Structure formats: structure tokens, C-alpha cells
Amino acid sequence: MNFGSDNVAGASRRVLEALVEANQGAASGYGTDALTARVTARLSAIFERDVEVFLVTTGTAANALSLAAMTDPWGAVLCHAEAHVATDECGAPEFFTGGAKLIGLPGLCGKMTPTTVEAALNGGHAPPPHAVVPQALSLTQATEVGTAYTAGEIAEIAGIAHAHGLGVHMDGARFANALLRLDGTAAEITWKAGIDIMSFGATKNGCIGVEAIIVFDRARASHLAERRKRSGHLLSKGRFLAAQLDAYLSDDHWLDLARQANATADRLADGLAARGARIALPVQGNEVFAVLPRPMHDALQAKGAIYYRWAGTSVPPDQAPQGDEVLVRLVTSFATTADEVDLFLAAADHRE
């Protein structure tokens, strides 16, 4: 009953088999191999345009290098106050940009709004050279609290950012999960809505350790090849990164994996709601944010269930925990089964 994160799951069997296959024979290094070229072609087809792709091993590297490509050391990146880039990456974006400032904006349900973005860009900053210069905006899909930006929401925010000269980045660590919840294609919720560069997640959804930086607007991604090399993320045996993504993307395997995670999240949310818990935020990916009665939380802990208590400010006030209620985050993965969810729900029933 481990719902702490989708990182606790292993890897898809297809991905593991692809690594064994990639181990046969020799291949050219540093991303010049045939598998890397095939991954670029697959991603270009998925996103309906020619894209530039840089494979790295972690989401932190994908996010930090993407933002560094668009932001000077004296620049600023707008993001949600609870965004992963702001709260969980140990200052990596600041480090790789050479010192750029991350400016966290408020917003319920983990989302920035056109109003908060516009206000941040027109907020009476000190004149140059005294203040940092906003140069990029980063939004997360799905957000840090499991909600999803629609294509329209992205387009409106990106339009404001572009009007002020900012580049727009998407942290897509759980992009597949969000895509399945939305009425649109991968293209429609990225570059067609104004995304210039994105971090395309795979590790949380069945790979061992690979993420893709996908560049839609090459003019906003200067010297990414050199930045990747300098950061230590240009692997000499790059085919082992590409092999994972090649298997992940083939035959829509990546969507099938995310579909299982989303389905078990729905089963979990529905089961908790039926037992008196309150679902605090819309389940628009594979994360469930639930307000548990204290006896239910205690019973689950006694049975060894694993999940995180949550203390973010994105929950709407009318859904926030009251009294001794407990707000928790539960995350399902491609490997989560219906039986595992049902075991958890049965444990929730055993309250004193």
C-alpha cells in the first residue's frame, strides 16, 4: 500500500527488454546513434512538428537546463509558488542559470492565472539595472497538486508572457497523465498553445531514468548542446537513454502506462469519497489529494499504508482540512493494481 509517489514503481518490462536489446553490438556515442535519431522522429510525430531533442537522466536537469537556455543570470523565472522547480530542486534552476531569480506566484489548485502573471510583469519593478529582468515563465503539467492546465489556459498565460518577451517552459514530469485527462492532442497543449520548450517526463511513468528536453522554438534555446555537456548529462553511451524512450513511445505504450495510473487514481478517489473522505482537488492526473477524518488516517497508518501529509496553500479554503482532519497526497503509478487500491480502502474501513 505504497502511495507515496510514482517514483516508487519499477520500470516497464518493455523498457527493460529494450535496454537488453540496445546492449547488443556497438553503437556510436554521445547521442549520434540510430536509437536517438528514432526517438527524435517519434517525438516529432507525437508533437506534429520537427523538434529538437536533448536526452538527460533526471527531471531536475531537464527543467534547470531548459530554463538556463532562456534566462540570463540577472533574469527571473515566473512560476507557481509551489512549483517543483521552486520547492523541490535544491536551487538547480538558479545554479544552472548562473543565479537567476525564481518568482513564485500564488494560485489555487496549483495554477498560475493570467491575472497573477500580468500583475507580476506590470508590478512596478525598480528600473534597470536594479531589479532582475523577467525572461521566462515555467508552468507544470500536471501541476504539483495534480491538476491540469487546459489548452486555453496555457494559451492565455503564454500569450501574456510572450507579449512581455518571456520564453515559456513546461515541466511535463507527469505530462502523459495530464494529456489523457484533457480534450486535445500533445501538440495542442504545448507548442500550439505557446510552449517554447518542455521537459518531457518518462521516469515516473515506467522508465528507469530518462527525460527529454523538447525544443519547439529553437531561437529560445541557445547553446543547449553545450549546456547539457557542461552539466554532465551528455552520456557517452547515449543509446541506453534512447532505448528507454524508444520503447516507451512505441505503440502508445507511454499512454497505456499513464492510463493505468489514472484509472487506479480514480478508483482510489472514488473509494475514499464513498468512505467519508473529502477529495480536496480535482483528480486530473494520477494524484489524489484527500482530506481524511483522523480515525481513517490513524487506521491506515496502523496498517502500514504509505503516503504523504500535505501542507500546501493551493487547496481552496472550502476544501481545506478542519479540526483534526488530515490533508494527504496519494500517488498511483503504471504498476498500481486495483487489488492494491482495494487493500488500501479495506484498511481505511477498519476505524476504531
Helix 338-349 vs helix 294-302: crossing angle, to nearest 10: 120
pLDDT of residue 183 exceeding 90: no
The answer to whether position 267 is within a domain reads yes
Same domain as 241, residue 281: no
pLDDT at 126: 80
Please answer whether residues 316 and 108 qualify as being in contact, where contact means their C-beta atoms are separated by less than 8 angstroms.
yes
- Measured over all CA atoms, what is the biggest interatomic distance in the chain, rounded to whole angstroms? 63
**Cα angle vertex 225, ends 219, 229, to 5°?**
150
State the amino acid at position 282 in one-letter form: P
**How do residues 40-63 score in pLDDT, each as one tens digit?**
999 999 999 999 999 999 999 999
State whether residue 192 is helix, strand or coil.
helix
Of 151, 3, 172, 165, which Cα lies nearest the Cα of 83?
A: 172
pLDDT of residue 124 exceeding 80: no
Same domain as 227, residue 178: yes
**How do residues 22-38 score in pLDDT, each as one tens digit?**
999 999 999 999 999 99
pLDDT of residue 352 exceeding 60: no
Rounded CA-CA distance 205/187 in Å is: 20
Domain that holds residue 298: 257-349
Mean pLDDT of all residues in 95-113: 96
Same domain as 159, residue 61: yes
Same domain as 271, residue 147: no
Write out the three cell numbers for 85: 522547480
The answer to whether position 274 is within a domain reads yes
The answer to whether position 231 is within a domain reads yes
- Per-residue pLDDT band for 351 (boundaries 50, 70, 90) equals low
pLDDT at 128: 79
pLDDT of residue 125 exceeding 60: yes
Mean pLDDT of all residues in 171-187: 97
Same domain as 165, residue 57: yes
**Which of 91-100, 131-140, 216-225 is predicted with the least confidence, judged by mean pLDDT?**
216-225
Rounded CA-CA distance 91/69 in Å is: 16
Domain harbouring 303, CATH code: 3.90.1150.10
Tell me what the pLDDT averaged over the chain comes to: 95
- Per-residue pLDDT band for 350 (boundaries 50, 70, 90) equals confident
pLDDT at 214: 98
Helix 151-163 vs helix 114-121: crossing angle, to nearest 10: 10
pLDDT of residue 268 exceeding 90: yes
pLDDT at 313: 78
pLDDT of residue 220 exceeding 90: no
The last residue of one of the domains, among 198, 222, 253, is: 253
Same domain as 277, residue 207: no
Same domain as 263, residue 163: no
Mean pLDDT of all residues in 254-272: 98
Q: What percent of the chain has pLDDT over 70?
A: 99
pLDDT of residue 275 exceeding 80: yes
The answer to whether position 118 is within a domain reads yes
Same domain as 280, residue 214: no
Same domain as 261, residue 236: no
The last residue of one of the domains, among 204, 222, 253, is: 253
Mean pLDDT of all residues in 187-214: 98
DSSP-derived secondary structure for 15-33: HHHHHHHHTSS---STT-S
Can you give the pTM of this predicted structure?
Answer: 0.96
Please answer whether residues 199 and 213 qualify as being in contact, where contact means their C-beta atoms are separated by less than 8 angstroms.
yes
pLDDT at 123: 79
Domain harbouring 30, CATH code: 3.40.640.10
The answer to whether position 142 is within a domain reads yes
Same domain as 206, residue 110: yes
The answer to whether position 197 is within a domain reads yes
The answer to whether position 7 is within a domain reads no
Number of domains in the chain: 2
Exposure letters 221-249 (e unless 16+ CB within 10 A, then b): beebeebbeebebbbeebbbbbbbbbbbb
- Per-residue pLDDT band for 314 (boundaries 50, 70, 90) equals confident
Mean pLDDT of all residues in 160-177: 98
